[in-house]
A = this chain, B = another copy of it.
Amino acid sequence: MTLPSALHYFPAPTTQAFCSQCGNPLTRLVPPDDNRERDVCNHCGAVHYRNPLIVVGTVPVWNDQILLCRRAIEPRYDTWTLPAGFMELSETTSQGAMRETDEEAGADITLGRLFTVLDVPRVNQVHMYFLATVTSERLDPGPESLEAKFFKLDDIPWDELSFRTVSHTLKLYLQDRTSGVFTTHYHSIE
């Protein structure tokens, strides 16, 4: 039997009502040897943990300019972001960062060092940005970007950036560029 196609697809919310293994309703309880409530299936015994997600991206630099993408999707439609997105299975963080840069900007890059690791506990995410050198002026933004564009350092649209992790990473980039020493920065954004 082929199931009918849904008319509208949406990311499954983090609230879980049914067991992914057997389809029965879930219960909230503290499993044996655990210390916090989980979504548990009392029919088959499956415990459904939920954990933070990783967002990976790059700070792509072309001569003295930064590559930003204007978002074609929510949240923060029509604001400027560094290329970034959710890390996928079976890839490394650096592979994910390169993939997102390709998908969102179509930019050719050489990846540099891991630059920022930023906790965003309010949304259960950790964002990781790598430095990158753009190797060709040609861009080819994908469907998640309205536009991809190089900005001179003085022209970064600070008031139209998408996320605090983006502005934080860009500020640290300018700071390290001034000092001449690029390191890996870890911060929590509350």
- A residues within 8 Å of B by Cβ? 3-13, 16-27, 31-33, 35-36, 40-54, 86-95, 103, 113-114, 117, 119, 121, 124, 126, 128, 143-144, 183-184, 186, 188
Contacts and interface: CB of A to CB of B under 8 A. Distances in A.
Given A18-B21, A23-B17, A46-B12, A121 B91 contact: yes
Nearest to A10: B45
Contact residues of A: prevailing secondary structure:
loop
A13 B46 CA distance: 8
Contacts of A24: 3, 23
23 contacts: A3-B24, A3-B42, A6-B44, A9-B47, A10-B46, A11-B46, A12-B47, A17-B21, A18-B19, A18-B20, A18-B21, A18-B22, A18-B23, A19-B20, A49-B86, A52-B54, A92-B121, A94-B119, A94-B186, A95-B121, A117-B117, A117-B128, A184-B184
